[in-house]
Structure 1
Amino acid sequence: MNGGKNNDFWTLLGQFFQLYPKQRNISENTVLNWRYTWNIFLSWLFNVKGIIPEKLTIDTVTPQMLMEFLDDMVRDRNWSPQTRNERLSMIRSFYQYAASVEPLYYNKVKELSWIKKAKCVDSSGVIDYIPKEAMTVLLSAPDPTTRLGCRDMFYMSLAYDIAARTAEMTSMKVKDFDPDKKVVTLTGKGRKQRLVPVSCQTIDMYNSYIRSFHHLYDPEAYLFYTIHNGEHTKMSSDTVARFLRIYSDKARKKCPEIPEKIHPHQAFRTSRAMHLLQSDAPLATVALILGHADPITTVKHYAAADTEMKRKLMERASKEMLPDFNDKEAIWKNDKDIIGRLYLGKN
């Protein structure tokens, strides 16, 4: 099949992002995911396969090449079978669009259709959490210069900092936060209490929050509350889920890796536990923070579920055996939007 002129690829890719979403009435978040996927794919083509942007054509990408890319992403970025399948569909969508413009490209669509989707295994033993970089974007989403933004940023940061359950957060009293000792008293399952250390950054947020929401200091008042009929009432889990959904939608515009559907437990407690374990925090310490009486519980629910931690162990074992590979600086380094630079001529 004749792949046409070299710049056909970039012309069609530009049209795909500019016209196709309008034709199909596709949401902005979906388009952001497409761009994110194609940025990663193009980076891989240039860096790993050594393809020169000006030489990239419709025919360049083969089924074998695309499968190699997907396998690398599963290994290096810990893509789940579902994520792999979604990214594959996003790449195929472009070639389907190209074929609708130029029927000669239908053979390429047929070629890529041979790639089988990964089987989505039972996820009961897989922990779904938010990566560190994405969590940073999410926690920065509220505007602390507003009253509610101050509250929500403090809530989210504290929940993540201490890996608390939603029920533990909403049941917390003002007296349970001790900024001088830098600890919080949490009441967990079975009304068991535990002390959890708090970071200095979170304490700074606490001081600002207290001034705005608890200027009449009442140690027995709920730390987080809502007002109904003029009375302070305990914040509900629905309220937490509601503002988390708002901020996750906002943050996803900057970081598409933030899940479409996000739950407070997943966002804060689970993610914090996984990040601590990935940072080589002692298992016994993480178990104490989570309130697990037996560290085996932590192993079952968290440590045994993270492929990245298993990979680190393998890396340590083979570090002295494998040679170093210092790659040259890529041409797209520090360029957040490869697609925009290459097909729209952005500088």
Structure 2
Amino acid sequence: MKGALITSDLARLLQAFFCQRLIQQRNVSHQTVCSYRDTFRLFLRFAEQQLGKSAAKMDLVDINASLVLAFLDDLESQRHNCIRSRNARLAAIRSFMHYSALLKPEALAVIQQVLAIPLKRFDRPLVKYLTQMEMQAILEAPDLLSWSGQRDQVLLATLYNSGGRVSEIIELRRANFDKNSWQAVCLHGKGRKKRVIPLWKRTTNLLKTWSAKIGLDPQQPIFP
């Protein structure tokens, strides 16, 4: 990375975008940083193949609309990403380009072409749901004779009870629960929004039993 910062203005811009723009100035969530990081990992690997040179030697003007469109097409055709994922990758690239326009006005012609790429429209399907019997079958599916199976049952029960996102559930710590009663959980959602969800008695009992099998530190992950 140090070598890249010396040889490439793209590398310098990317470092400034992540360290200064996203983290220092906007103070975005850890999840957003990780999502943007993954986007550029994929994009730079693709760009290396298309341009025939390493990311360390790329300049901002190499990131033109044709390259970005080819990357988006590759996400859908080769990686089988859905349109939502494709749009999320494009949003990360566009955010970087908006920031770069302030620092590299001489590249505005290339930047504007990338910013002109629209998000792809898609139909929003009707959200389906599982019946109570179907959900019960899922909760009973893990192998309770194994440690991971016991963990998975409690994880699924907490997910079902709280309606939380997968990312919210897997990041839960002891400190997120109502002291030692386990009767409520505090979830941290998008935009740093917090919400407290009451838990059913069955979920509470499962959590109490499971909590005896993990560490006591308040920052101990509930589902390691």
Q: Which residue of 1 aligns with 2:52?
A: 50
Question: 1:70 Cα deviation (Å)?
Answer: 0.2
Select which of 145, 150, 164 maps to 1:204: 145
Task: Give per-residue Cα distances to partners, 1:26-84, cap 9 Å, x unaligned.
Answer: 22211111001001111111235432233200111221111011001011222222221
CA–CA distance in structure 1, aligned partners of residues 158 and 144 of structure 2:
23
Greater fraction helix: 2
Using structure 1 for the length normalisation, give the TM-score: 0.39
Q: For 1:14-163, what aligned pairs fall within 5 Å after superposition?
A: 14-21=15-22, 22-124=24-126
* Per-residue deviation, residues 182-239 of structure 1 (Å, max 9, x unmatched): xxxx59xxxxxxxx9x67xx24238985xxxxxxxxxxxxx98xxxxxxxxxx79863
Any gaps of 5 or more consecutive residues in structure 1? 128-164, 173-185, 188-195, 210-222, 225-234, 251-259, 261-347
Query: Percent of pairs identical after alignment?
Result: 22
In structure 1, what residue type is equivalent to 2:146? Answer: M
Give aligned pairs, total: 163
Per the alignment, residue 12 of structure 1 pairs with 13
Query: Using the alignment, how far apart are the partners of 1:203 and 1:236 within structure 2?
Result: 16
Q: 1:28 to 1:67 in 2, by over 3 A?
A: same
**Cα 1:16–1:203 shift into 2, 3 Å:** same
Which deviations, in whole Å up to 9, do the C-alpha atoms of 1:248-271 show, x marking residues without a partner? 446xxxxxxxxx7xxxxxxxxxxx
Looking at structure 2, the residues matched to 54 and 243 of structure 1 have their Cα atoms a distance apart, in angstroms, of: 36
Are the aligned partners of 1:95 and 1:108 in contact in 2 as well (CA < 8 Å)? no
Q: Rg: which structure is higher?
A: 1
For residues 242 and 166 of structure 1, do their structure 2 counterparts lie closer, same or farther at Cα, with a shift above 3 Å needed?
farther
Shift, 1:169, TM fit: 7.2
Deviations 1:111-152 (A, max 9, x none): 21232321122434x99xxxxxxxxxxxxxxxxxxxxxxxxx
Q: Is the 8 A contact 1:63 1:112 kept in 2?
A: yes
By relative contact order (CA 8 Å, sep 6+), the higher-ranking structure is 1
For the 8 Å contact 1:74–1:80, the answer to whether it is kept is yes
Q: Which sits farther off after the overlay, 64-73 or 84-93?
A: 84-93
Q: Distance in 1 between matches of 2:58 and 2:103?
A: 18
Question: Does residue 168 of the first structure (1) align with residue 133 of the second (2)?
Answer: yes
Q: Residues 51 and 208 of structure 1: is their aligned pair in 2 closer, same or farther, counting only changes over 3 Å?
A: closer
Aligned to 2:169: 247
Shift of 1:86: 1.8
Bigger mean CA deviation after superposition, 58-67 or 235-244: 235-244
- Please report how far the alpha carbon of residue 242 of structure 1 lies from its aligned counterpart in structure 2 after TM superposition: 5.0
Unmatched tracts of structure 2, length 5 or more: 1-5, 173-189, 191-224
What SS does the aligned partner of 2:102 have? helix
SS in structure 2 of the partner of residue 19 of structure 1: helix
Pick closer, same or farther for the CA change 1:203–1:78 going to 2, 3 Å.
same
Alignment deviations for residues 88-133 of structure 1 (CA, whole Å, 9 cap, x no partner): 1101211221221232232222121232321122434x99xxxxxx
TM-score, L = length of structure 2: 0.58
